[in-house]
Structure formats: C-alpha cells, structure tokens
Chains A and B, each alone.
Chain A
Amino acid sequence: MKIIVLMKQTFDTEAKITLDGQGKINRQGVNLIINPYDEFAVEEALRIKEKHGGEVVLVSVGADSVQEALRQALAMGADRAVLINPEMEEVDEFTTATILARAVSGLGYDLILGGWRAIDDGSAQVAGRVAEILDLPVVNQVTKIEIEAGKAVATRDIEGGNEVVEVSLPAVLTAQKGLNEPRYPTMKGIMQAKKKPMEKKNLADLGLSADQAAPKVKVLEYFLPKPRAAGKILEGEVPEAVAALVKALREEAKVI
C-alpha cells in the first residue's frame, strides 16, 4: 500500500500575527509547525502502514524551512519526503494543488491523505483540488478510516451525526480532528530521520512552467482585526438605559 500524505507547514497555533512594513504577514521569529490536521493524516498513514504494510511518502510545497516539518513527520515514522519549492512570492490554492497533483502523479499511490484544511488560510481547497486534477474520489473530514481490499470505509462528521462512506481506492481522504491522536516522534526515530531520503525539487523538475502554476488569486490587502475597545456601562434606570442602548446600537455600533 503506497500512501501519500499532503503536508503543509503552518504558523504555530499560538503565534502572534503581525504585519511588516509592506503590509505582508511577518514571518520573522514565528514558530512553525506541521498543520495539525495534516499531522492527523500523517498519524493515520502510519497506522494504516503498520496494519497493512507499505510505504508512507510525504509531499509538501514550500520553502526550505518546510524541511523541519517534514523531518518531524519522518521521525514519526514516514519513509521519505518530497519537497517542491515553487520559488514564487505568492501562491494560491490553484498553484499548490497543481504542483502537488503533478508531484503525486509521478510517485504513484493507493491512498492520498491530507488535513481537511490548513489552520493558517483555512481555505480547505487543496486536497479537493488535487483529487479533481487526478480524477479521484474525495471524502472530506473523516474521523475513522478502515481499509479493505481495494476500498476504504470512511466515517465523517455531518450535522447531528455521522456518515459512513465507502470509496474505491485510490482516493483522497481528508482528516478531521478526532481521527486519531498523533504520536510523539521517538528519540531514536529522530536520529534515524536524518538518514531518510528527502528529495528537493523545483517546478522544472516536475515539467511545470511558472505560467502553468501561476496563481489565479491575488491578495489585495492584509489587515489585522480592530483592537477591541473597552466596554461601556450604561447607568441609570432600566427604561432609560435600554433607550440609551438602542441608540448606541443604532448610531455608534450601527448594527440595528
């Protein structure tokens, strides 16, 4: 069983987001982690491999810094990693999915796993797009996966209950919280991870031109949420206070 895990490196969940002088997100000094939903996917891939045998290959798009996240997943037990650096200022979901699909198709696969979304941009598009490009079925937000001959039975959360989906392999499945509890890398695993293969590629290595992968979406502006102002306490008798509240909601907050 050859399992591909699509992985993204993101800011730490506790990272403080700031903008630099150019109005771009400041990456200086920010702790980077494996996107938590992708970490569930890595763990699930390892569990499937431990049960059914096979190989777990990590694929990621990003700069050299992503190696750190890939090494962590290799230390958890993945077999090898492929990192494609698009060498672009900005990428969008189209760019990432186009590159991933091309890289993955060259690797061969029985199952493709990923997180259902990344915690940074939260667009939840990439895995679905990869499935579309590769003409594969996709099951999103799964909380349980069972592999049987040539197919997967996946349980996914739906409003007020669960849905059990049977899908033929190969397929793309995206991980939701609750799928598993990711293991910690072992100390020995960390030592061994440096000997595991990590291929670094660029667009040309995949036979893609910059135009073919050029983003379709352009970010116009980033801005931070307005700092929360201090609350206001309306004094006086209830009827007057209510009147003042309605006035404030209408004229100051402009919500009614």
Chain B
Amino acid sequence: MDFCIDQELSLMIKTVKDFVDNEVDPVSHIIEETDRIPEDIMKKCKEMGLFGLSIPAEYGGAGIGMVGKCLIYEQLGRTSNGFTTVIGGHTGIGTVGIVESGTEEQKRKYLPPMAAGDKIGAFALTEPQAGSHAANIKTTAVRKGDKYILNGTKHFITNATIAEVFTVMAVTDKSKGAKGITSFIVEKSFPGFKLGTVERKMGLKGSQTAEVIFEDCEVPAENVLGRGGEGYTNALKILTNGRAGLAARNLGSMQKLLELSIKYAQERVQFDVPISSFQAVQHMLADMAVDIELTRSMVYRVAWMVDQKMKVIKEAAMVKYFASEAYCRVADRAVQIFGGMGYMKDLPIERYYRDARICRIYEGTSEIQKNIIAAQLLKDYG
C-alpha cells in the first residue's frame, strides 16, 4: 500500500493552496456580500487551468485522475464554499457527463471552452416534484424533425446564472418511467431557454442557484447525450463520480476549521489560561481531528478506486454521507470553541457552519445515500 503523493500532484496541491490561502480567502467576505466571485479571481482560476481539471488533455484540460482532483478540491475547500462550488460544480457534475458519455463531435465542440473556463457547465436534474425522487421529473422532450422540443422547469440549479452549457435530463417516453429519460446538452443561447428565479440561500454565497425554464426550447438532435432512454442512468453515473469530490471539498473546509480552532483555542484566554488547556476544548479538537482523518482515509481510497475503474456505488455513497455529516459536526464544534465570536459575521466560522448544512442535502441527501448503501449491501450479500 502506497500513500505517497507524486511530485506533480504535490506541486499542484502547493500551488492551489497558496492561491486559495493568499488570494481567495482574503476576499471571501466580499464573495459573501456580493454573492459572486470577483472577476480577477475567476481570471486567475481560468489561467491556472482549474476549470479543466478533469477534462482530458486532448480537449484542452489537465486530464487529472480522481485522486488528483480530490487533492485539489481539498485545497479549494479551504475557503468560501461558494467559490469551491463554482469550480467544483463545473469540473464535477457540470462537465463529467460530456467527458464520459459525449460523442467525439460533442467533446470537440464543448470541452475546450469548458476546460478554459470560458463556458461554465451546470447539471439540471432536480425539479420541484423531483428532488430525491429524481426519476419523477416532468420536463419533456419531444422529437420534431432534427430537433427536440423541451418543456418544463428545473430548480435549484447550481451555478445556473453563470453557466452556458447545461446537462439536462428530460422525459422522452413517459410510458417507460426511469428508462424513458434522456439527457441533453442544452446551451443557454438555444431558443426557448430562460433563467427563472435566483434563489436566496442560507449559505454557499458566490455560487448562485436558480430556476431554469424550457419553453418550447429547441435542442438539436445531435445534442442528445449518450443514448436515448439512458438519461437517468447517466445522471446516476455523473452523481456517483461527483460524490468523492464533494467529500474532498468538505475535507478541506474541515481541515481549515480545525486549524482556525486550534489557533484560537491557544490564543483565547479565559480564567487566566488559554482555553486550549481545558480538557473540554481539547476533546472537541480531538473529535474534529478524528472526523477529518477518517474522511481523508475514505476520500482518497474511494478516489483511488474510481481511478482503478472499480465499482464504487456503495463506497461513494458512504464517503459522501460520512463527509457531509462530519463537516457539520466539525463546523458545530468550531462554533462552540469560538463561542460568541463563532456566531459573529466578523469571523468566517459561522459561514462554514451555514455552508456545511447543504452538504447533507444536495447531490443526494444523507438518507438517500443510506438507501444506496443498504441497497448495495442487500444485493452484495443477498
């Protein structure tokens, strides 16, 4: 067993950590207030190639495997989770579908500008009546000549306001249920595409979430992604791949919270001594560190399994479930260690606390992850 990180990945980690700690984190309060990523930060991310992490080199990306991607995500998690989500949503669910299921023509057309970050990708599955029950989507796609006509409303679409290329799931044959869903590549510029309400969220400021509305939206037939009727399977595949990545982002945030908490506990004096000398505080730090170390072990093992092309349905669900719950525990303890200051907007702790909460919900709730784990267990041992 080899846990070493090679020289290239070490340099990537160092580069991204320097960038996040020195350039992004100092403006994280601006991201929070303006609900957008400053232009110069976006520009630097594009120049560094952060939008092309998982896109193969022949289409202009860096072609990094899942372990590498997770190592970079971990560093990106060390600041505003909204910032992390702008990059993570794009390099994860926003582009993975085209990378894995796209035709050669689709890849040549869409991936180079997406790798450069000139076109942001988003993933549109969720609808008001189809959250955890994803197969219950109502958006329809009807073939008409060389086009499909899409009608329906997607909501809670991450990065919708900045995205130009959407991976959209729509019903092409209602009689077949989940097997009657097809995925499409839909451009923002297609006739009949409309952005709806931009949601006001509890956290994840900087990454906007909005409604996407299709009103007789015309999508060329060559933009069907993968085979017709495989849209739901595609969506599940895309989400499975994303799970370890999301956990890696959580890992970075937890690590940052631990570092901040240790520093604060050593500086904050109460009863004439630093609060780090109290066992109650020490135990909180220890619990945080254990959650982090467990997440780390799981993230990189699952990422490694993905790179080995092993089946990870159960493990990816486990790591997503564990990491998001652990992040909430760690954020809660960080607030507790910081006390009243942890609740104040002057410090970033409360921001992490709010940002952590969505992780147990999006890209599959904790409960859905447990369903997946149990279903796989019953299958494996049944």
Interface of B: prevailing SS: helix
Counted as pairs of residues, one from A and one from B, with CB atoms less than 8 Å apart, the total is 52
CA distance A190 to B11 in the complex (A): 7
Our pick among B18, B47, B62, B72 for the contact of A191 (Cβ within 8 Å) is B62
Give the shortest distance, in Å, between B33 (CB) and chain A (any CB). 25
Kindly identify, within residues 343 to 365 of chain B, every residue whose CB is under 8 Å from any CB belonging to chain A.
none
- Residues in chain B near residue A185, CB distance under 8 A: 11, 15, 48
B2 at the interface (CB under 8 A from A): no
Residue pair B49, A72 in contact (C-beta under 8 Å):
no
Residue pair B62, A71 in contact (C-beta under 8 Å):
no
CA distance A112 to B381 in the complex (A): 68
A123 at the interface (CB under 8 A from B): no
Residue pair B8, A193 in contact (C-beta under 8 Å):
yes
B195 at the interface (CB under 8 A from A): no
Residue pair B11, A184 in contact (C-beta under 8 Å):
no
Our pick among B7, B8, B44 for the contact of A184 (Cβ within 8 Å) is B44
Kindly identify, within residues 2 to 26 of chain B, every residue whose CB is under 8 Å from any CB belonging to chain A.
7-8, 10-12, 14-15, 18-19
- Residues in chain B near residue A188, CB distance under 8 A: 49, 52, 57, 61-62
CA distance A187 to B64 in the complex (A): 9
- Residues in chain B near residue A75, CB distance under 8 A: 11, 15
A209 at the interface (CB under 8 A from B): no
CA distance A183 to B14 in the complex (A): 14
- Residues in chain A near residue B122, CB distance under 8 A: none
Query: What is the interface residue range for chain B against chain A?
Result: 20 to 34
- Residues in chain A near residue B10, CB distance under 8 A: 68
Residue pair A187, B53 in contact (C-beta under 8 Å):
yes
Our pick among A68, A72, A186, A194 for the contact of B48 (Cβ within 8 Å) is A186
CA distance A193 to B10 in the complex (A): 13
| 21 A-B pairs whose Cβ atoms sit less than 8 Å apart in the complex | A72-B11, A72-B14, A72-B15, A75-B11, A184-B15, A184-B19, A184-B44, A184-B48, A185-B15, A186-B49, A187-B48, A187-B53, A187-B62, A187-B64, A187-B72, A188-B49, A188-B52, A188-B57, A190-B15, A191-B63, A193-B8
- Residues in chain A near residue B52, CB distance under 8 A: 187-188
Residue pair B47, A71 in contact (C-beta under 8 Å):
no
Chain B window 32-49, contacts with chain A (Cβ cutoff 8 Å), 1 for yes, 0 for no = 000000000000100111
B244 at the interface (CB under 8 A from A): no
Most buried by B among A71, A191, A193: A191
Residue pair A71, B11 in contact (C-beta under 8 Å):
yes
Our pick among B12, B44, B57 for the contact of A190 (Cβ within 8 Å) is B12
Q: Which residue of chain A lies nearest to B7 when distances are taken between CB atoms in the complex?
A: A71
Q: Which residue of chain A lies nearest to B45 when distances are taken between CB atoms in the complex?
A: A184
Give the shortest distance, in Å, between A25 (CB) and chain B (any CB). 22
Q: Which residue of chain A lies nearest to B12 when distances are taken between CB atoms in the complex?
A: A190
- Residues in chain B near residue A184, CB distance under 8 A: 15, 18-19, 44, 47-48
Most buried by B among A72, A75, A184, A193: A184
- Residues in chain A near residue B8, CB distance under 8 A: 190-191, 193-194
CA distance A71 to B7 in the complex (A): 9
B50 at the interface (CB under 8 A from A): yes
CA distance A189 to B11 in the complex (A): 11
Give the shortest distance, in Å, between A213 (CB) and chain B (any CB). 29
Residue pair B47, A183 in contact (C-beta under 8 Å):
yes
Kindly identify, within residues 190 to 204 of chain A, every residue whose CB is under 8 Å from any CB belonging to chain B.
190-191, 193-194
- Residues in chain A near residue B7, CB distance under 8 A: 68, 71, 194
CA distance A56 to B363 in the complex (A): 46
Residue pair A187, B47 in contact (C-beta under 8 Å):
no
Q: Which residue of chain B lies nearest to A194 when distances are taken between CB atoms in the complex?
A: B8
Kindly identify, within residues 23 to 44 of chain A, every residue whose CB is under 8 Å from any CB belonging to chain B.
none
Given A71-B7, A193-B8, A187 and B50 contact (CB-CB distance below 8 Å): yes
Q: A184-B44, A187-B49 are in contact. List 8 more A-B contacts (CB 8 A).
A: A68-B10, A72-B11, A185-B11, A187-B48, A188-B52, A188-B61, A190-B15, A191-B64
- Residues in chain B near residue A183, CB distance under 8 A: 47
CA distance A186 to B72 in the complex (A): 13
Kindly identify, within residues 64 to 83 of chain A, every residue whose CB is under 8 Å from any CB belonging to chain B.
68, 71-72, 75
Kindly identify, within residues 45 to 81 of chain B, every residue whose CB is under 8 Å from any CB belonging to chain A.
47-50, 52-53, 57, 61-64, 72
Give the shortest distance, in Å, between B25 (CB) and chain A (any CB). 15
CA distance A184 to B61 in the complex (A): 17
Give the shortest distance, in Å, between A65 (CB) and chain B (any CB). 11
CA distance A72 to B49 in the complex (A): 16
Among all A-B residue pairs, the 3 with the closest Cβ atoms: A187-B49, A187-B62, A186-B49
CA distance A184 to B57 in the complex (A): 19
Q: Which residue of chain A lies nearest to B72 when distances are taken between CB atoms in the complex?
A: A187
CA distance A191 to B14 in the complex (A): 14
Q: Which residue of chain A lies nearest to B49 when distances are taken between CB atoms in the complex?
A: A187
CA distance A214 to B204 in the complex (A): 59
CA distance A185 to B61 in the complex (A): 14
Give the shortest distance, in Å, between A43 (CB) and chain B (any CB). 13
- Residues in chain A near residue B14, CB distance under 8 A: 72
